[in-house]
A and B are shown apart, each in its own frame.
Chain A
Amino acid sequence: MRTRLDACLRAVNEVLLGKEAQVRLALTCLLARGHLLVEDMPGMGKTTLSHTLAKVLGLEFQRIQFTSDLLPGDILGTSVFDKDSGQFVFHPGPIFAELVLADEINRATPKSQSALLEAMEEGQVTIEGATRPLPDPFFVIATQNPVSSGGTFALPESQLDRFLMRVSLGYPAKAAEKALLLGESRRDLLLRLEPLLEHDELRTIQDAVSQVRASDALVDYVLRLVEATRTQPQFAWGLSPRGSLALLAAARAWAFLDGRDYVIPEDVQAVLPTVVGHRLRERADATGHGGGALVQWLLREVPAL
């Protein structure tokens, strides 16, 4: 099972060059049944990442381009009257895919945003009184551009909380970019990619991830981290229990990817910046972007053992 996952990682890394850490985190997020928020400028490979992941894992891929006139119905789907049958027939929206890329999520109105976020949280959609389940492996990768904020609706903290992780891709290294420029078109590579994982296998893996052992000592460490965010003066607010659950789930998936069936503090530390960064704010800058410095403080000062 692990070898299959390694193969998946390798395949993704062949397409998305020089981003091993982010790819690994994205896969971790998926294995932990969480959703991913990618924050970066346009053209950094956000779409490529999601597309490749979908392809390699054999997931059905859909992309929703969020704009300010996007309506919830455009995401969830609508019932359309069918002349032939004389009935309303439900036309599922793009959300009914296994891997959904919600591009530029902060451009849409809060109403449309919350439609997506609710679907992410519940795993099902209720339209016109009928509850429709979403596909089982259901993974949302939302992206947003942190730089141009004109005409955007920033996601409130409560909604950021719904994302298990927030990663940022960043510029590729020089060598990786050179390989990118010299190599084939990514689109061609994508087309040639074969799915490496069956749905069943993915589900098994996801189940196995939740079985990864987190000992008392480790949970204590997680609790110490959470406690620190709640008591230390530089934190505007502390982590929610959802936050601590997310941290443990992500750490489990990371440990699993690392080939272990138990979690060690290093796993928690590896996922801490991405899991916790978007959930924390500094007291001095409560409306700011995130708690990068706070996370560094947590890593440095909270006793790991």
Chain B
Amino acid sequence: MSVKPGIPRNSLIWLLVAQVLVILPHLTHLPLWIIGLWLGCATWRIQIFRMRARYPRSWLKALLMIGAGFGVYFSRGSLVGLEAGVVLLIAAFILKLVEMSTRRDALVLIFLGFFAVVTSYLFEDSLLAGLYSLLPVTALLAAMIGLQQSSLVTRPWPTVRLAGSLLLQAVPLMLVLFLFFPRLPPLWSLPQAGDRGVTGLADHMAPGDIARLGRSPELAFRVSFDGDIPPREQLYWRAVTFERFDGRRWSQSYASHLPQEPEWQAVGEPLGYNVVMQPSGQPWLFALDVARVAPGQAQLMSDFHLQRRQPVNQPLMYQVTSWLDARREAVRAPESLGRSLQLPERGNPRARAWAMELRRSAQEPQAMVDALLKHFNRQPYHYTLEPPPVGDDIVDDFLFETRSGFCAHYAGAMTFVLRAAGIPARVVAGYQGGEVNPAGNYLSVHQFDAHAWVEYWVAERGWVSVDPTFQVAPERVEQGLEQALARERSFLADQPMSLLRYRDIGWVNTLRLRWDSLNYGWQRWVLNYQGEQQTQMLQRWLGKLDAQTLGLGLVAILGVLTAVLALFLFKPWRRETDPHQRLFRRFERLLARHGVHRNKGEGARSFAERAAATLPEQAPAILAFVRLYEAQRYAQLPGTTDELSHSLRQLRRALPWRLPKPAGRS
């Protein structure tokens, strides 16, 4: 096979480099055979370039393609879906390498590369990933430039330097587009990557769930307070309440999904803060009690948790105002009280008996709660993330046998006992505390800050929150999980890579906090710069403007740019002034549409003769026009001015070709 237009060496080099750079960030979610596929295809490609190998035959190509398809199917269990789709895309990106023989193929490969770079954002959109993607983009640009270079250019560095400078030149445009380009809502919803949004609170709580979270160093959300950061003991981030207990696990009641704002009264100073939460895959937002957000973003549900319509599948930023001392449903007994007394028919008899006993000794509900808390405090309860196994009656076993567990156990047990004693109570799940980052003066809440506590309802006071874990391990609340687990050294024991484990080492910690702060800025100001944030920002700069003005402005700017470009391209000031010449140019354009182009040095007659040979049917008309043109322009015959030639041209135009038939090159 001949190497007709071929792909220059320079372009090939950069294409191979770009492929490595594009595939690299995908490696975490690609099957290993992809590496082998790339090595094979790259070697083959190089051998083709060295003329040691030939292009694959079509049956081989088909075989490779089907093989890759099967590979994806077997390693990902499907051909559709985000992950399988990306693997398929990368496989195609690699396979195209051996098939490409013309510049056009190389261009397809390059564009595929750009697309693959974008897909990597679906998995990782941190600052580092964003900066990294500049590398493959530069390499792809270099490959594109290399395609246009002569094959005599053999040194790859100048090419990539040019690509880099092109990228730099594009930065202002990028910034302008970033700031002003309207963010369109997605036209289709993209399935989420499988391993994202899994860590986090679920809509139910079984023994061990929160312990699992306690081992995860992943970020849950970050908060910037408008004023000072409140003390740790007040930072109970509510996510969801669990009102149903089936003897083993606590879960949300259906009623709590009702979008019905409960009755509450603001007391004390409001607290304003801004939350950027990581994707959780769940619809609820995190906030301190009692919270209010901008309408439209989320709604306060009947159990005081905030919920959106759709699950949070990408980082979400929202502004909250909270009243920490608000009185909740204190005026009259809410309808939901019945749900807060529900217990399974049987099970945990000792706990029930004990609850009745306590109730009898303490007349007031508040006294009952105090007695319970005192019990947790006085008795030898033990806080651990690795509780011993319990039997069927989990509350009984926990309260009277093992006496060791973590927040979920304490909250669950306390709620059970309160309900058994006839006091409406429910488990609240969320996060507690967080890590203050002095570098950015914000709070990072990680998954290991997940927590569960109790709230009970008393007439006239409404819902009251209480944290039994505080009685057992006050350091959990005051200093965080790490201190609570200091004795058993189990904090992030199975996460040796997590920098959070090395908080004791001063400089590592400083570095980690600074880096975290940088990422937070990236997320707040770059990733979340869309929709409302964009409008607000633009309004701050440009004054009052709505989407319509913005759109009109953009269109106007675009129009001006197009006009300038058009002026520059068409150069109306250099318009032909001679009427004959203008007509002739029109004649020329007409023929050009039929595939006959006049060479620069070609006279009217020779051009016409050539055109007549190409379009024999129109020959008389063509020659007639040119004869007239010559007579007027060169023989300077009087009388027959441009009217005549114009009419003649019209005639010509009407006569032979209305439809541009394919240029007659046989």
Residues of chain A at the chain B interface (Cβ within 8 Å)? 213, 215, 217-218, 260-266, 269, 298-305
Contact = CB atoms under 8 A, between A and B. Distances in A.
Dominant secondary structure of chain A at its interface with chain B: mixed
A264 B604 contact: yes
A61 B104 CA distance: 68
Interface centre among B600, B630, B633, B634 (most CB of A within 10 A): B634
Given A213-B636, A217-B634, A262-B635, A302 B603 contact: no
Contacts of A305: 581, 584, 603-604
Contacts of B602: 304
B633 A215 contact: yes
B600 A265 contact: no
A263 B631 CA distance: 10
Nearest to B602: A304
Contact of B601 (A217, A260, A301): A301
A265 B600 CA distance: 12
Contacts of A218: 634
B584 to A, nearest CB: 7
B512 interface: no
Contact of A263 (B581, B584, B601, B634): B634
Given A218-B634, A262-B635, A303 B603 contact: no
Interface in B583-623: 584, 599-606
In the A-B complex, the 6 residue pairs with the closest CB atoms: A265-B603, A262-B635, A304-B603, A266-B603, A300-B601, A262-B634
B635 A303 contact: no
Given A269-B606, A304-B603, 6 more contacts: A263-B634, A264-B604, A301-B600, A301-B601, A302-B600, A305-B603
A302 B604 contact: no
B527 to A, nearest CB: 55
Contacts of A299: 601
Contacts of B578: 217
18 contacts: A213-B635, A215-B634, A217-B578, A260-B635, A262-B635, A262-B636, A264-B603, A264-B634, A265-B605, A269-B601, A269-B603, A269-B606, A299-B601, A302-B600, A303-B601, A304-B603, A305-B581, A305-B603
B634 A304 contact: no
Given A215-B633, A215-B635, A215-B636, A264 B605 contact: yes
Interface in B633-654: 633-636
A213 to B, nearest CB: 6
A217 B580 CA distance: 11
Nearest to A297: B601
B15 to A, nearest CB: 37
Contacts of A266: 603, 605-606
A300 B603 CA distance: 11
A302 B601 contact: yes
A303 B636 contact: no
A250 to B, nearest CB: 16
Nearest to B599: A300
Nearest to B630: A264
A229 to B, nearest CB: 14
Nearest to A260: B635
